Amino acid sequence: MHPQRVKAIAAAKLKNDRIDSATLAHLLRCDLLPEAWMADEVTRELRQQVRMRATLVRQRTRLKNQVHAILHPQGLRYEGSDLFGRGGRAWLKQVSLPVAGGSAIQVYLKLIDAFSAQIQEQEQQLRKRWEKDARVTWLRTIPGIGWYSAILLIAEIGDLQRFADKRALTNYAGLVRIGRQAPDRKHHPSGSSAGPSRCCARSTRTRLWWPSRANCWSRSGPCCTTASPTTKSILPSAK
């Protein structure tokens, strides 16, 4: 059951459990309850794993920002490419910092290493199970889509056949612009999203092309051949 659509159908001023249950019973009797797609067990497990990996990355990024926040007031800036690589850490050992700042950086570096180890473990598990999936191989032909991005899209989108058409999928991903007009002004927000924000963030960086027919997304269907680097990759149309 889709709660948002039920709310739109049964918008009542007087709300309590007795009235709501009677309204739901009436909608069910008339076969008017809108259905919501439920992910299967494999998709739910995949979503949980990719979201946990994304959470670990965000936490590690926050720790790195804390290190930069300590260095900035001291006027210190590493000129290399990676402050947390081998060269950057050697540089951190040489710089002069207050006792509290130096101790905090050492703690942050240990936590960063711990998060990096957990992230690497999650990536190994995802690679082992999903990297050879035909859909992952095919999605990676799109410029800017790596193996993790492909797995993330598969996890968040789920069964492609649940979307009525390509517009439904792009709306779910937050790529459809909704314009609201008033007599004196126009407002064009960046997009509306019915799906997870993780899918939206990744989808906004992806160019999508829709062919007239394709069946590469299905596990049982044939898969498209890997495109050359100069070939535009094409996503399958939702049926």
Instruction: Evaluate whether 144 touches 206 at the Cβ level (below 8 Å).
Output: yes
Domain shared by 77 and 32, yes or no: no
Indicate whether 137 belongs to any domain.
no
Task: Tell me whether residue 225 is in a domain.
Answer: no
Structural domain contains residue 236: no
Q: Model confidence over 107-138: pLDDT tens digits?
A: 999 999 999 999 999 999 999 988 888 989 98
In a domain, 162, yes or no: yes
Structural domain contains residue 142: no
The C-alpha atoms of residue 136 and residue 8 are separated, in whole angstroms, by: 37
Residues 115 and 61 in one domain: yes
Tens of pLDDT, residue by residue over 67-78, are 999 999 999 999
- For residue 234, the SS3 value is coil
Closest CA to 124 of 63, 59, 53, 55: 53
14-64 residue pLDDT tens: 777 887 788 778 888 887 777 778 888 999 999 999 999 999 999 999 999
218 in a structural domain? no
CB 169 within 8 A of CB 194: no
Instruction: Examine the domain organization and report whether 94 and 115 are in the same domain.
Output: yes
89/65 same-domain check: yes
CB 134 within 8 A of CB 216: yes
Residues 29 and 52 in one domain: no
Q: Final residue of a domain: which of 89, 104, 130?
A: 130
pLDDT band at 160 (very low <50, low <70, confident <90, very high): confident
Say what the pTM is. 0.68
Residues 171 and 114 in one domain: no
- Residue-number span of the structural domain to which 152 is assigned: 148-203
Number of domains in the chain: 3
The verdict on 25 and 79 lying in the same domain is no
Residue 170 lies in a domain: yes
Domain co-membership, 32 together with 95: no
- pLDDT for the residue numbered 75: 92
Domain match, 114 and 70 both: yes
> Would the CA dihedral through 221, 223, 224, 229 be positive or negative?
positive
Whether residue 140 lies inside any domain: the answer is no
- On whether both 84 and 119 belong to a single domain, the answer is yes
> 56 and 28: one domain?
no
Q: 54 and 122 in one domain?
A: yes
Residue 201: pLDDT over 60: no
